Amino acid sequence: MPTLDALLSEDQIQAKIDELAARLRADYSGESILLVAILKGSFVFVADLCRRLGEDIEVDFVQVSSYGDEHRSSGVVKFKKDADTSFEGRNVLLVEDIVDTGRTLAHLRELFGTRRPKSLRVVALLSKPEARAVPVEVEYVGFDIPNEYVVGYGLDSAERYRNLRYVAVLRESPTP
């Protein structure tokens, strides 16, 4: 049986989202924002974040698949679902659950930059700086965490644990 070691509590996460939302409100100073959440992991984060932002907010979703093993992305990114909204002239804010190697985000930043947004920034709840394989700019980071596999608050392992209110390190027990 895998074990869960709590890493970030519900209170810590909610306080951090208050802080991120305050920074975003100040930085965008009332301008409209198009939040583009990267499914599936960021669905919980974007739900909490969007309700703390101002009135002029739209939310859209993209879903990509990357070919790698179960727990690591290869960086070859393919759309399962693209955005429904045009990015042209918009303040696009990509909402990511976790930045690991940075490959997914580097690819999306490059691609979305060609769609002529007014601005393009990224907010990620979690980042694993030690795991970065490609440099990628992330303007707003909630927590830097160690290079371990985490679940909860939208993040899964084989589709489980997304509904946890906290974030935990998932440790697979050694096979006897």
Active-site residue, selected from the candidate residues 11, 97, 100, 144? 100
Q: Output the smallest distance, CB 134 to ligand 5GP, in A.
A: 9
Q: Output the smallest distance, CB 158 to ligand 5GP, in A.
A: 10
CA distance linking residue 45 with residue 41, whole number of Å: 8
Whether the CB-CB separation of 30 and 87 falls below 8 Å is answered with: no
Nearer to ligand 5GP by Cβ, of 44 and 151: the residue is 151
Quick one: which of 93, 95, 151, 168 contacts ligand 5GP (CB under 6 A)?
Answer: 151
CA distance linking residue 80 with residue 153, whole number of Å: 22
Q: Output the smallest distance, CB 164 to ligand 5GP, in A.
A: 11
CA angle at 64 for the pair 20 and 164, rounded to the nearest 5°: 50
Quick one: which of 24, 45, 93, 100 contacts ligand 5GP (CB under 6 A)?
Answer: 100
150 binding ligand 5GP? (CB under 6 A): yes
Nearer to ligand 5GP by Cβ, of 60 and 100: the residue is 100
Decide if 100 is catalytic: yes
102 binding ligand 5GP? (CB under 6 A): yes
**DSSP character at residue 174:** P
**Active-site residue list:** 100
